[in-house]
């Protein structure tokens, strides 16, 4: 069973049903199926072979979804890269993935990589052209999601058709998705939350409504979107819901047609969660947990019983057929959704150690307790401070840099501590501009502190706790 | 405000984005054509504040279908969007 079969099957059952809709284009299952086949023929004509990596560097469009389906249909590996990534970072991803082709829908160029626009791809095969779909096994790679890497270079998490289907099957059952559902897709295509929105919808024959990168961070129009599109199932990082509540009056204006609201990627601020639970008693609320390497591996349903709670909601019980244990305080996962490995690295063997701290608490429910290392979660995105530090030290005014995550939940942000080059003064706006040329927007710094030297611990390491103290006292440069 | 011409709107929006949203630097001052998205100016909180500003100052709400990178790539593009939305509201 392949991941691409979900659209093929839905198109056979209900060709006229709405499959995917962006702000300007809607495709029925029949149309998506035909377009995917046409793109697949064009990719084959361009020499893309089974197992090749195709980087799809686009906005969140129905067309890009068709390209992804095409990549899978020819047995190639889909590498989604959000349009907002600067060319320098895309180039590093293309190099790491050793991509056969970059498909774009804009003017951005990746030097040295063969690239093709969606429009050119559409013209490369006549309408109605079909190619035989590749035979793929459950263990064959389907897609690679690039996350921030602790070595300073993006890291590719490689997932199989079987990994994705095990999660999607579980999620569809858990949420009882039907063809009548209308899912929003808030996360970027490069973020594993999209796997549920897209493939969950396709498996159920439901529709998925794409939220573009700009709309995704516009609180009030986003609430309009949920209501106008009569969204029934919402899945996002909690910070999106918090923003929609604070700036878009979500709780009072909603829930509209919403029947389920699912969050993952970071802890949900308790007060906000209780407000929504109290305001929308008829909407199911779930708290899902899992790093990109495992997709969702635990789940907790938030109920009226949580209204009196004074501690964070648990991340819950093992999900999607996984076994989740705690070893030396660290959450360890094995099971059908756990990745094949990092692209270019050794195949994974044995359970996956998440680097997240956890504890089984009352009622046998897993609780999240923070990180083993310095990795930061910002609005659900993983940020390895080393990747940002490497970019900062490349600036003329920066001799040395340490980056720290400060705060929790939707309030967390990145603070940069820099030692200036002699005779220069690092400027916050200039460094943000510099970072924006090399990093996606969510990895940009939120505050800058210039220091003469870094405080050190007795054994000579940078004293992160002392720096963190500087951040909270507001000693801005 | 009953009507606003493009040049005035450019000045006022430029002032808001520069001073309230803290965009631009001494070495590279903000202009109406500066690429706001490439500069990393519009994160979610700044976007929310900008939309609230557009609503209170110019009396228009930006509908979801207009929330595109194209319309927010620069101060000039935002001004065009505001003018379009105002003329649509006036013709209703």
ipTM value, please give it: 0.92
Strand partners, A261: A234, A285
Give the distance from residue A340's alpha carbon to the nearest chain B alpha carbon, in angstroms: 34
Give yes or no for residue A230 having a pLDDT over 90. yes
pLDDT by residue (tens digit) across A282-305? Answer: 999 999 999 999 999 999 999 999
Cβ-defined contact of B39 to A83 (cutoff 8 Å): no
Ordered alpha helix ranges (H), A345-420: 385-392
Q: Is A119 exposed, middle or buried (0-12, 13-18, 19+ CB in 10 A)?
A: exposed
Residues of A in contact with B42 (CB under 8 A): 214, 217
Each domain of chain B, given as residue ranges in start order, spans 6-90
Give yes or no for residue A477 having a pLDDT over 60. no
A5-371 against A376-472: fold identical: no
Residue pointed to by tokens 């050119």: A120
Give the distance from residue A348's alpha carbon to the nearest chain B alpha carbon, in angstroms: 36
Report yes or no: A418 and A409 within 8 Å, Cβ to Cβ: no
Report yes or no: B71 and A218 within 8 Å, Cβ to Cβ: no
Strand partners, A182: A207
Give the distance from residue B64's alpha carbon to the nearest chain A alpha carbon, in angstroms: 5
Report yes or no: A146 and A56 within 8 Å, Cβ to Cβ: no
Report yes or no: A397 and A450 within 8 Å, Cβ to Cβ: no
Give the separation between CA A211 and CA B69, rounded to whole angstroms: 12
Cβ-defined contact of B38 to A86 (cutoff 8 Å): yes
Q: Does A411 touch chain B (CB under 8 A)?
A: no
State the sign of the Cα–Cα–Cα–Cα dihedral A247, A249, A250, A251: positive
Determine the residue among A107, A214, A379, A432 to mutate to test chain B binding: the one whose Cβ has the most chain B Cβ atoms within 10 Å. A214
Q: How far from the centroid of its chain's Cα atoms is residue A65's Cα?
A: 15
DSSP string, A32-50: HHHHHHHHHHHHHHTT--T
Report yes or no: A3 and A165 within 8 Å, Cβ to Cβ: yes
- Return the closest-CA partner of residue A365 out of A290, A300, A273, A319: A300
Q: Which residue of B has its CA nearest to A108?
A: B38
Tokens linked to A176: 């009882």
Q: Does A132 touch chain B (CB under 8 A)?
A: no
Tokens linked to A209: 């409504």
Q: Using CB atoms, which residue from A218, A239, A433 is nearest to B40?
A: A433
Report, as an integer, the average pLDDT of A40-62: 96
Report yes or no: A292 and A145 within 8 Å, Cβ to Cβ: yes
Determine the residue among B27, B36, B37, B47 to mutate to test chain A binding: the one whose Cβ has the most chain A Cβ atoms within 10 Å. B47
Give yes or no for residue B28 having a pLDDT over 80. no
Give the separation between CA A327 and CA A359, rounded to whole angstroms: 9
DSSP state letter for A335:
S
Cβ contacts of A131-135, under 8 Å, gap ≥ 24: A131/A37, A131/A40, A131/A41, A131/A44, A131/A73, A131/A74, A133/A2, A133/A4, A133/A8, A133/A40, A133/A73, A133/A74, A134/A50, A134/A73, A134/A74, A134/A75, A135/A75
CB pairs under 8 A between A and B: 93
CATH of A376-472, one of 1.10.760.10, 3.30.300.30, 3.40.50.300, 1.10.3470.10: 3.30.300.30
Task: Work out the pLDDT band at A410, boundaries 50, 70, 90.
Answer: low
Report yes or no: A254 and A280 within 8 Å, Cβ to Cβ: yes
Residues 6+ apart with CB under 8 A from A143: A68, A72, A77, A78, A79, A80, A158, A159, A164
In Å, what is the CA distance from A23 to each residue of A166, A213, A315, B1, B88? 30, 11, 34, 30, 19
What's the pLDDT score for residue B41?
Answer: 82
Give yes or no for residue A29 having a pLDDT over 70. yes
Cβ-defined contact of A218 to B67 (cutoff 8 Å): yes
Pairing of strands A18-21, A207-210: parallel
Provide the percentage of residues in chain B whose pLDDT is more than 90.
Answer: 60
Each domain of chain A, given as residue ranges in start order, spans 5-371, 376-472
Determine the residue among B19, B44, B52 to mutate to test chain A binding: the one whose Cβ has the most chain A Cβ atoms within 10 Å. B44
Q: What is the mean pLDDT of chain A?
A: 93
Overall pTM > 0.95? no
Give the separation between CA A66 and CA A69, rounded to whole angstroms: 5
- Return the closest-CA partner of residue A421 out of A447, A444, A400, A391: A400
Cβ-defined contact of A221 to B24 (cutoff 8 Å): no
Task: Work out the pLDDT band at A124, boundaries 50, 70, 90.
Answer: confident
Provide the percentage of residues in chain A whose pLDDT is more than 90.
Answer: 74
Q: Using CB atoms, which residue from B24, B26, B47 is nearest to A218?
A: B47
pLDDT by residue (tens digit) across B78-87? Answer: 999 999 999 9
CATH of A5-371, one of 3.10.20.600, 3.20.20.70, 1.20.1560.10, 3.40.50.12780: 3.40.50.12780
Q: Using CB atoms, which residue from B38, B45, B63 is nearest to A221?
A: B63
Report yes or no: A259 and A175 within 8 Å, Cβ to Cβ: no
What's the pLDDT score for residue A475?
Answer: 44
Phi, psi (degrees; rounded to nearest 5) at A442: -70, -15
pLDDT by residue (tens digit) across A337-362? Answer: 999 999 999 999 999 999 999 999 98
Hey, what CATH topology would domain B6-90 get?
1.10.1200
Q: How many residues does chain A have?
A: 477
């Amino acid at each position: 069973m392949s991941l691409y079969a979900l659209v093929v099957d839905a198109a056979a059952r209900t060709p006229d049903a709405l499959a995917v809709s962006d702000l300007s284009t809607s495709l029925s299952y029949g149309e998506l199926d035909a377009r995917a086949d046409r793109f697949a023929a064009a990719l084959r004509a361009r020499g893309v072979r089974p197992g090749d990596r195709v980087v799809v560097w686009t906005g969140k469009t129905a067309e890009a979804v068709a390209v992804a389906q095409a990549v899978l249909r020819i047995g190639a590996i889909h590498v989604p890269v959000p349009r907002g990534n600067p060319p320098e970072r895309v180039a590093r991803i293309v190099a790491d993935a050793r991509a056969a082709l970059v498909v774009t829908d804009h003017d951005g160029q990746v030097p040295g990589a063969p690239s093709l626009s969606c429009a050119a791809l559409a013209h490369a095969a006549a309408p109605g052209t079909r190619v035989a779909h590749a035979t793929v096994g459950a263990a064959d790679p389907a897609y690679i999601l690039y996350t921030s890497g602790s070595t300073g270079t993006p890291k590719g998490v490689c997932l199989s058709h079987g990994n994705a289907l095990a999660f999607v099957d579980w999620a569809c059952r858990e949420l009882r998705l039907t063809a009548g559902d209308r899912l929003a897709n808030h996360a970027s295509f490069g973020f594993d939350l999209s796997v549920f929105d897209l493939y969950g919808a396709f498996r159920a024959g439901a529709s998925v409504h794409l939220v573009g990168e700009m709309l995704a961070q516009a609180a009030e129009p986003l609430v309009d979107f949920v209501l106008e599109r009569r969204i029934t199932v919402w899945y996002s990082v909690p910070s999106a819901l918090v923003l929609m509540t604070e700036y878009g009056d979500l709780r009072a204006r909603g829930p509209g047609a919403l029947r389920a609201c699912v969050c993952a990627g970071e802890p949900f601020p308790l007060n906000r969660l209780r407000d929504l639970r109290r305001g929308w008693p008829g909407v199911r609320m779930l708290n899902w947990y899992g790093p990109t390497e495992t997709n969702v591996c635990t789940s907790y349903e938030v109920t009226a019983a949580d209204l009196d709670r004074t501690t964070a909601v648990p991340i819950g019980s093992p999900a999607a057929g996984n076994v989740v244990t705690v070893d030396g305080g660290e959450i360890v996962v094995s099971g059908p959704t756990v990745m094949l490995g990092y692209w270019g690295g050794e195949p994974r063997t044995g359970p996956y150690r998440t680097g997240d701290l956890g504890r089984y608490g009352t009622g046998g429910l897993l609780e999240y307790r923070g990180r083993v290392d310095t990795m930061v979660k910002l609005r659900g995105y993983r940020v390895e401070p080393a990747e940002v530090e490497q970019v900062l030290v490349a600036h003329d005014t920066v001799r040395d840099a340490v980056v720290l995550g400060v705060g929790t939940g939707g309030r967390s942000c990145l603070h940069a501590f820099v030692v200036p080059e002699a005779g220069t003064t690092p400027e916050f706006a200039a460094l943000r501009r510099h970072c924006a040329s090399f990093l996606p927007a969510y990895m940009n710094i939120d505050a800058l502190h210039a220091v003469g030297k870094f405080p050190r611990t007795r054994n000579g390491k940078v004293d992160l706790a002392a720096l963190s103290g500087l951040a909270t006292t507001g000693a801005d440069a | 405000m009953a009507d606003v011409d493009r040049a005035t709107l450019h000045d006022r929006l430029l002032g808001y984005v520069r001073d309230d949203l803290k965009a631009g630097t001494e070495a590279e001052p903000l202009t109406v054509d500066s690429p706001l998205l490439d500069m990393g100016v519009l994160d979610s909180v700044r976007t929310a504040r900008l939309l609230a500003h557009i609503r209170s100052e110019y009396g228009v709400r930006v509908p979801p279908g207009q929330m595109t990178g194209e319309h927010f790539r620069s101060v000039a593009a935002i001004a065009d969007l505001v003018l379009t939305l105002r003329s649509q509201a006036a013709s209703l």
